[in-house]
Amino acid sequence: MATQANPYLIITDGVATATFADGAGGNTNWGVRAQTWAPNVAPLRRSPLGGRGPYADVVEELTINVRDSGATAAAAMANLNTLSLLLDQAERWARGEFVNAVLVKYVPQGSTIAANATPYQAVVLGRASEDMGAMLGLPPRWDQLGMIKELWDVKVRFVRTGQWLLGDQQASTVPSLTSGVVTDVAFASGLGGATPHAPLAMTLGTWTTTNVATLNSGFLMCTGNTPGSENGIKVSTAPFSGLGTGGYTNINESANNAISGANTARYTPTGTAFSRCRVGPINWTAAHRLGIFATVRNNDATKSYQIRAGYSKDTAAVSAVRTGTVVVDGSSTSPQAIFIGILTIPNAQYGDVFIEIAASATGSTFDIDQIVVVCLDDDTSCVLGHDGMNMSGTFGAGVTVFLDIQNQILTRPEPFVGVHQQSVTDGIALTYRGDARFRTGLTEINVLWLTTSGAKWRFSQGGGSLQTVSVTARQFNAYLTPV
Amino acid sequence: MIHYAIYDSPGGQLLADYTHKARGVRISTNSRGYADCAAQIPLSLPEAFIWYDRPGLPHVELTDNGLTVWEGRLEDPAIIGAGLGAAALGYSRALQDIPYTALWSLTMVDDFRPVLATEIATAVPDRFVFDTQNRVYIAQKKNEVFGTTGAAKQAYIAYLAPDQSSRTIIGVSFDFTIVTPAANWRAGFIAQNSDFSTNSIPWLVNSGGAGTVTGSINTTFTGVPIVSFFMDLNAANATYLGETGANFLRITNLRLVTSTTNRINTTLTANRNAGASVTATVGSTARMYVGQRLQIVGGGGSESVLVEGVTNATQFVATFVNNYVIGDAVLAHVVYADEIAKDIVAGVAAVNSTQLSSNATLIQSPGVDLLDEVYEDQYGADVLDYLASRGDTSLRRWEWAVWDDRRLTFQPHGSGRTWYVDITDLEVIRTLENLANSVYATYQDPTGRILRSATNADSFSVSKYGLTRRQVAPASTTLVAQARIHRDTILADQKDPLPQARIAFDAVYDATGGKHLLAEVRAGDIFVIRNLPPTLSSSIDRIRTFRLTRTDYDLDTGVLTVEPEAPLPTLEAQLATTIQEPS
Parts of chain B with a pLDDT under 70: 502, 534-542, 566-583
Q: Are B4 and A326 in contact (CB < 8 Å)? A: no
Under DSSP, the state recorded for B348 is: H
B555 vs A: CB within 8 A: yes
Residue A360 with chain B: CB contacts under 8 Å: 361
What span, in angstroms and rounded, lies between the C-alpha atoms of B185 and B99? 44
Judge: B513–A382 Cβ closer than 8 Å, yes or no.
Answer: no
B288-298 pLDDT, tens digit per residue, is 999 999 999 99
Q: Is B544 on the interface with A (CB under 8 A)?
A: no
Q: Which H/E stretch holds residue B221?
A: strand B211-224
- CB within 8 A of B226, min separation 6: which ones? B158, B159, B160, B161, B169, B191, B192, B193, B194, B196
* Cβ-Cβ contacts under 8 Å, B261 against chain A: none
Shortest alpha-carbon distance between residue A126 and chain B (Å): 13
Residues B163-218: tens digit of each pLDDT? 999 999 999 999 999 999 999 999 999 999 999 999 999 999 999 999 999 999 99
Q: Which residues of chain A neighbour B557 with C-beta distances below 8 Å?
A: 46-47
In this prediction the ipTM stands at: 0.87
Nearest to B558 among A46, A311, A343 (CB): A46
Distances (CA, A) of B101 to B110, B196, B379: 19, 21, 9
Q: Using alpha carbons, list the distances in angstroms from residue A382 to A198, A438, B65, B423, B469.
A: 13, 6, 6, 32, 56
Q: Is B1–A379 a contact, with Cβ atoms under 8 angstroms apart?
A: yes
Amino acid at B321: V
Q: How many angstroms separate the CA atoms of A384 and A438, rounded? A: 9
- Best mutation target among B14, B20, B67 (most A Cβ atoms within 10 Å) is B20
* Residue A364: C-alpha distances to residues A192, A270, B357 (Å): 50, 10, 22
**Helices H, strands E: what count in chain A?**
3, 33
Of A48, A130, A343, the CB nearest to B581: A48
Bond preceding residue A325 cis, omega within 30 of 0: no
Residue B447 distance to chain A (closest CA, Å): 40
- Looking at the complex, report in whole angstroms how far the Cα of residue B556 sits from the nearest Cα belonging to chain A: 5
CB contact under 8 A, A415 and B17: yes
CA distance linking residue B355 with residue B91, whole number of Å: 6
Q: Which amino acid, A327?
A: V
A347 contacts B513? CB cut-off 8 A: yes
Q: What is the DSSP letter of A299?
A: -
The dihedral over CA atoms of B94, B96, B98, B100, expressed in degrees to the nearest 10, equals 120
User: Is A432 in contact with B14 (Cβ distance < 8 A)?
Assistant: yes
Residue among A339, A328, A353 at smallest CA distance from A267: A328
Cα distances (angstroms) measured from residue B194 to each of B107, B123, B224, B225, B373: 21, 16, 7, 6, 21
Q: Which amino acid is at A289?
A: R
Nearest CA in chain B to A292: B66
The secondary element (H helix, E strand) that includes residue A401 is strand A400-406
Contacting residues for B558 by C-beta, under 8 A, at least 6 apart: A46, A47, A48, B518, B579, B580, B581, B582, B583
Give mean pLDDT in consecutive 10-residue pieces for chain A, a chain of 483 residues. 92 96 93 92 88 90 88 91 95 88 96 94 86 78 86 93 89 92 80 66 94 96 76 79 73 94 93 89 75 96 94 77 91 96 75 90 95 87 94 94 94 93 90 90 86 97 95 90 89
Contact B514 A304 (CB under 8 A): no
Residue B573: per-residue pLDDT: 33
Distance from CA of A260 to the nearest CA of B (A): 24
Length of chain B: 583
CB pairs under 8 A between A and B: 166
A50 → closest Cβ in B19, B44, B404: B19
| Cis before A227? omega within 30 | no
404-463 of B, contacting A, C-beta below 8 A = 404-405, 407, 417
**Residue of A44, A46, A49 to mutate for B, most B C-beta atoms under 10 A:** A49
Q: Is B509 in Cβ contact with A96 (below 8 Å)?
A: no
Using a CB–CB cutoff of 8 Å, tell me whether B44 touches chain A. Answer: yes
- B64 touching A (Cβ < 8 Å): yes
Inter-residue contact B61 to A433 (CB < 8 Å): yes
Residue in A closest to B5 by C-alpha: A433
Q: How distant is the Cα of A116 from the closest Cα of chain B, in angstroms?
A: 29
Dump the DSSP string for B83-119. EEEEEEE-GGGGGGTSEEEEEEEE---TT-EEPPTTT
- Check if B581 contacts A (Cβ < 8 Å): yes
Question: For residue B518, what is the nearest residue in chain A, using CA coordinates?
Answer: A48
- In this complex, do A341 and B67 lie within 8 Å of one another by their Cβ atoms? yes
Nearest to A321 among B14, B66, B512 (CB): B512
Closest Cβ–Cβ partner in A342, A346, A429 for B67: A342
Give the chain B residue whose CA is nearest to the CA of A96: B43
Residue of B nearest to A434 (CA): B3
